[in-house]
A and B are shown apart, each in its own frame.
Chain A
């Protein structure tokens, strides 16, 4: 069974640009969650999607958005990038949702904003 796949793995952008990250969950998993990880703040919850609906949203500005497709694949977008957006963005999938059991994480997309 294939694991959670995130693309791209590494990317460099400049301030003001926008970026789209992709996440393919484990087959059959309907929930996809996104986290931002930085050395100072640790893992911060961005949002969770379940069956194409946003179920939860963390405390991030509107520049951060996401969506989920009918095949459960998810994308997140960050517009008007700032230096502080440099982070490891982690996607996690689960069968029924975040607080029902184990999360399966991808390897992450490391974003550097210059």
Chain B
């Protein structure tokens, strides 16, 4: 299946440091999205990047997309304890009404 895979599976950093998570996928896409999930809660949309975009910013978030490598990265700058959560990338299949497919996520722990 065309599932995004996040790397690393878990990441632990100190408050104030930057956190980088990566996502790789298998087939061409229309867009790639990043979501955040606090433990046992629903997912919250963070950012969407289209296949013709290379970089996008939203506050402390920076997302890059490399379609030639079929990969994306999410950078959180100056992390805070409140950023502790799981982060997922989601991809479509690039054509038709296909469902979004989520990776298994990166578990980020920010230590105060």
Contact = CB atoms under 8 A, between A and B. Distances in A.
A88 B33 CA distance: 21
Interface in B27-46: 30-31, 33, 35, 40-45
Given A43-B88, A55-B97, A98-B92, A105 B44 contact: yes
A107 interface: yes
A: interface residue count bin: 20 to 34
A56 B104 contact: no
A104 B102 CA distance: 14
A45 B42 contact: no
A56 B96 CA distance: 11
A103 B48 contact: no
Contacts of A105: 35, 42-44
Nearest to A45: B99
Interface in B18-34: 30-31, 33
Contacts of A108: 40-42
Contacts of A90: 42-43
B107 to A, nearest CB: 11
A32 to B, nearest CB: 12
Interface of A: 4, 33, 35, 41-43, 45, 48, 55-56, 58, 88, 90, 92, 97-99, 101-108, 110
